[in-house]
Amino acid sequence: MAKVSFITMAELKRNTYISGSLDVDKVKQFIDIAQETYVQQYTGTRLFKKLQDLILSGDINLPKNANYLDLLNTHIKPMTIHWTMVEFLPISGYSLGNGGVSRYQSNNAENADTDEISDLTEISRSKAQHFTRRFIDFMVYNQNNFPEYNQNTNDDIYPDFGTSFIGWELN
């Protein structure tokens, strides 16, 4: 199955402090990582795949799929955006090439130090946790509209219903 992103680069840039000139190839893999490791953890495999299938087929915009479109826009996209930032920020200034790992040095800007990057990452983590909690709360009362949420079997990932997160939680 083709990889499907729940968000576009334009949405990521519009909803974060990523520069409009950032190379898409530097971030794309982190969208995939955020979806596979965080979003799927909370949606479960079946709902995750249902959303991907609806997007891939173009059926997400059909009236009969209005609940899925609302779920995508209201909960899944914000989760994906901020979990992407959690994954991307710590290594955003680095690249790996033939000469090894290098750090980008801008001619007209000062690079952030590791403490500043850690602070930015934790701000993104707090936002991601907020949207994840909102998703879980929403699903508690609306899971009947999304039968796939409870249809996981065998080696599927079952939805994580917990709202406790490891690490800092900034309020």
Beta strands per DSSP E along the chain: 94-97, 100-103
Q: What is the pLDDT of residues 3-43, one digit of tens each?
A: 899 999 999 999 998 888 888 888 999 999 999 999 999 99
Task: Give one word for 109, left, alpha or beta, with left for phi > 0 and alpha for psi -120 to 50.
Answer: beta
* pTM (whole model) above 0.85: yes
pLDDT of residue 164: 59
State pLDDT tens for residues 46-62.
999 999 999 999 999 99
Confidence of residue 168 (pLDDT cuts 50, 70, 90): very low
Domain spans of the chain? 1-8+40-92+110-171
Distance (Å, rounded) from C-alpha 95 to C-alpha 25?
A: 12
- pLDDT confidence of residue 101: 76
One-letter amino acid of 43: T
Amino acid 52: pLDDT: 97
